[in-house]
A and B are shown apart, each in its own frame.
Chain A
């Protein structure tokens, strides 16, 4: 697999009141195209900060994020928004669907922020959304509103929305948080399909060990550092041996 995402000396320092919190302490990371990466670690280890820095959501204090060789933090707001819109599909811990829009409109919503989208694309976009929802077994709910859906169904709609612009990277922050075991397994299966069938680079942040069975790469984080290629990442997290 070729190098697709690269971070160099990535640092992020937060100031909370008088306190200085170093969330990332110089992360050097390479992720290949088509990889399925799971970031694990205790709360406050820097997982979400690292992933949101890669996704163009959090500006690093120091270091670079190169995607296909381009430093995304050199882009202006408009270019960065366009980058997020076209290159990355986000899945959040909470379902984050707009309650005023039905399922179909929630899925096609990223397209309204796509500066290159044209009117004639609308029909094609809707067909694509229906096709994605069909793949996710949500065809019958196309016209339903979020309040009429279960937690698992809402998560599937969020997945369809993440895929609508055909991004190359899917960033999922705790995508199975708040879900029961059965629904969690369903969502993980779907994510595997996204990686295998749709050939997307999948980056997941989770506390759930279930992901480890499916992930191609597991990265453990502790105190703002990353630990790759550990023989037993679970044991490493449990025992806190990542030193």
Chain B
């Protein structure tokens, strides 16, 4: 028989008392575990978005507002200003200036950091320009319901949102998209006063502002200046929107009375995109009478650790009428919020642990003093101070370990409750990473409570112990 076995048997001798001691530790461990899991899940969700989107900059009009719900009635998705802008616009012609400022700021930032600047003139170094995609948001009536319709340039959008996948349908051929963008991008210019000048004659638009298909051209006898662009009436749907409305590939959509065909349905990405209807930018601009205007530009940095923060500062300083927001800054605000919440709750948990340890200390002291005569007997038969101390430490190590495991399991369940109660809305990720921490906390709480009484008892004079009644 070993000291460890003696400790285990002694532990099993007082199940009720030990369960009482363990319960305080279990609660403390469960609270900390659930808090850590929720906080970690929330932070991971943000990190994943950043990892997925890269270091992205959103350029939107300086005075922009949102607050709309995407997806129409019955589909609640609160939009943020980095996701959608309604009622404010940037001239499309301002994009080159924006990108010029961006590129210069990135290069300057790299130089400041002492990093490599991409240089096409140096063999082996490939210039990776930033890629950008414009968007135009408008509320429109889609099949009789008000929905946010987003005009995009498919090719550019695909580069910026490289994680986009279609669950059904297919992207238009590169050449088709290229043609669309090439043709459209030549239609806008700024006049001498800085206003956007639009050459309406290049569009196949009828007198009521509708975009006219080739068949309709003939029927309405309205001859467009340029041939109607291929794919002008293609619509791509966010996964959640398509699911909610029961729409599938090839279905027809009426957006402000203009017919579109569903050419693709996007995989859900847990973003506002899931609730949107996408049509070509040029079509959207004509349909909503917003020629030459866009709502925002997403800029995806193409270099790892690009100094996007520097670019953001430069853009906000040099280009009037726009606000550049770094995705990392948005994430940073969320991080700060979660960290603040975590710290607050951690303080609550630490207080709980302190109170728990105090109550454990009291129970343990009472429990050990009830064993005082037994301790005297053990000393008399040859147990040294350190051996006695080891008996108590083993007992409470095992107790703390068991409480840590139970607390961890309870904490997993509590994480879901905490997530719902605090309305964090993170996808809870169960991870064994927190198990060692839970076990350490359980053991430390248990040992902290035992060390002083165990030390005092192990130093007790044997004859003093025989004046106490034997605990049976």
Report Cα–Cα, A62/B3, bound state, in Å: 35
Question: Would A94 and B384 count as touching, CB distance under 8 A?
Answer: no
In the complex, which residue of chain B has the Cβ closest to the Cβ of A53?
B463
Q: Quick one: which of B9, B382, B386 contacts A114, CB cutoff 8 A? A: B382
Chain B contacts for A13, CB-based, 8 A: none
Chain A contacts for B192, CB-based, 8 A: none
Any B CB within 8 A of the CB of A101: yes
Report Cα–Cα, A15/B10, bound state, in Å: 34
Chain A contacts for B466, CB-based, 8 A: 92
**Are A113 and B9 also in contact (CB < 8 A) when A58-B462, A94-B470 are?**
no
Tell me whether chain B's interface is mostly helix, strand or loop, or mixed: helix
Question: Would B10 and A105 count as touching, CB distance under 8 A?
Answer: no
Report Cα–Cα, A122/B2, bound state, in Å: 10
Of residues 68 through 100 on chain A, the ones whose CB sits less than 8 Å from some CB of chain B are: 77-78, 81-82, 84-86, 90, 92, 94-96, 98-100
Any A CB within 8 A of the CB of B461: yes
Report Cα–Cα, A112/B380, bound state, in Å: 13
Report Cα–Cα, A94/B380, bound state, in Å: 13
**Are A101 and B9 also in contact (CB < 8 A) when A52-B462, A94-B470 are?**
yes
Any A CB within 8 A of the CB of B417: no
Q: Quick one: which of A57, A90, A96, A109 contacts B1, CB cutoff 8 A? A: A109
Any A CB within 8 A of the CB of B377: yes
Question: Would A85 and B462 count as touching, CB distance under 8 A?
Answer: no
Any B CB within 8 A of the CB of A9: no
**Are A85 and B472 also in contact (CB < 8 A) when A52-B462, A100-B12, A112-B3 are?**
no
Chain B contacts for A108, CB-based, 8 A: 1
Tell me whether chain A's interface is mostly helix, strand or loop, or mixed: helix
Total B residues in contact with A, Cβ cutoff 8 Å: 27
* Per-position 1/0 for A128-144, Cβ under 8 A of B: 00000000000000000
Chain B contacts for A147, CB-based, 8 A: 472
Q: Quick one: which of A58, A77, A96 contacts B384, CB cutoff 8 A? A: A77
Chain A contact patch, size range: 35 or more
- A58-B462, A86-B382 known, 16 other contacts, Cβ within 8 Å: A49-B463, A77-B384, A81-B379, A81-B385, A85-B381, A92-B466, A98-B10, A99-B13, A99-B472, A101-B1, A110-B382, A111-B1, A113-B3, A114-B382, A147-B472, A165-B382
B binding-site residues for A, Cβ under 8 Å: 1-3, 6, 9-10, 12-13, 373-374, 377-387, 461-463, 466, 470, 472
